[in-house]
Structures are given as C-alpha cells and as structure tokens.
C-alpha cells in the first residue's frame, strides 16, 4: 500500500534533506563510490527539489575537497546556497545554451554527472514510457559529450519499453564492464525506477 509518509520520508525530514530521494543516491554512493576525493566537477540535471545536490556537496566536504564546482540545471528554479554551487533554470536539451553557461564557469567536461530526472507522467503506461525514454534520448548527449573519459555517472531510468535498448546504447558508448544496474532499497517497492551507474574505469 502506497504511503507518502513512510520511513524514508520521515528520515529525510529528520536529517534535513529536501526529499527522500537523497537516500537513493546515498545507497548508490555507498555501493559504488562515485564521488571521491578526486571529484572536482559535478553536473546535476533535473536538480529540483535539490536533495541530490545536498547529499553530493556533503560528500565533497566529507572528502575535504577544497576547490569544486557543482552545476545544476532544471526547468524549475532552485534556491540553494552552497559555496561552489551554481544552479540555472535551463532546458538541458538546448545544447548551445548549456555550453554557453558551462563556458562561463570554464567547464567543458565533468568528473561526475548525476540525474534523477523524470518526465511529467499522466498515468497512461504506454505514453509515460514513451516520454521517459524520449527524455533519456534527448539528454544522452550530456553523458556522451560532457563526461570525462575516467568520469562516473548515475542516471534514473524506468523499466518500461525501451529500457533494454537504452541500456545497450550506454554500454556500447562506455566500456560495458563499467556499467551497472542498481535499484536502491529506498525506491518505493512498486516503482519501476532503477539506476544506470557508470563507475570510473580507473577503479
């Protein structure tokens, strides 16, 4: 039975996270260690409601990373003040505008890219599945062009039609042995979401 005020909702409130989704990234980090002492640049696409930004910056501070840049993009305004963080209201499918913003920060590639982005759903499985895969395809260029060769990423994906094809595309572009699939326990039991994880090939 769906319970919006479950254990992870209450845990997020207790630990001052904006949303329960922080614990999904925490589980992924605990298992794969995507954020390390060498992480200097992070891109978060679909960064609202910014709980992933909270967690990631907390990890950077944990590793005593002194100089880092974290960039967040979303269609919604995100107001979060942390040193080294810049957020923008920007459609990430508009490549030229994204590149223009990154050039202002003298960034061309990232050590780590995180995405908990999802389309607006309407409750019709076939249409929602199409929207989900279409969004992934539209944002594929981010990983293809903006990730360092030794970089890591985590992408939310729904196990709907098109799932296998997109995972195969990711494995073909990046070394297949570095690609993992992982569903955190903090995901709701009936959710079709899971995550594509790319660990650094240097590990």
Q: Which residues have a catalytic role annotated?
A: 156
Q: How far is CA 78 from CA 38, 61, 109, 112, 158, in A?
A: 26, 21, 22, 20, 25
Closest by Cα among 68, 140, 148 to 105:
68
Closest by Cα among 59, 64, 56 to 80:
56
Cβ count near 61 (within 10 Å): 14
Euclidean distance between CA atoms 200 and 203, whole angstroms: 6
Q: Spell out the SS3 assignment of 155-173.
A: EEEECCCCHHHHHHHHHHH
């Amino acid at each position: 039975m769906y319970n919006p005020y479950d254990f992870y909702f209450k845990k997020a409130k207790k630990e001052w996270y904006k949303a329960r989704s922080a614990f999904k990234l925490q589980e992924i980090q605990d298992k794969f260690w995507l954020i390390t002492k060498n992480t200097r640049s992070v891109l978060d696409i679909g960064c609202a409601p910014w709980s992933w930004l909270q967690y990631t910056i907390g990890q950077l501070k944990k590793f005593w990373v002194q100089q880092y840049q974290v960039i967040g993009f979303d269609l919604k305004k995100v107001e979060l003040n942390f040193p080294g963080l810049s957020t923008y209201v920007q459609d990430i499918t508009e490549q030229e505008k994204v590149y223009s913003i990154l050039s202002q920060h003298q960034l061309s590639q990232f050590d780590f890219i995180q995405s908990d982005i999802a389309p607006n759903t309407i409750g019709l499985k076939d249409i929602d599945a199409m929207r989900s895969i279409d969004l992934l395809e539209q944002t594929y260029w981010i990983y293809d062009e903006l990730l360092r060769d030794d970089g890591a990423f985590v992408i939310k994906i729904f196990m709907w039609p098109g799932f296998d094809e997109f995972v195969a595309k990711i494995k073909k572009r990046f070394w297949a042995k570095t690609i993992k699939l992982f569903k955190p326990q903090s995901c709701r039991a009936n959710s079709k979401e899971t995550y594509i994880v790319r660990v650094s090939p240097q590990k």
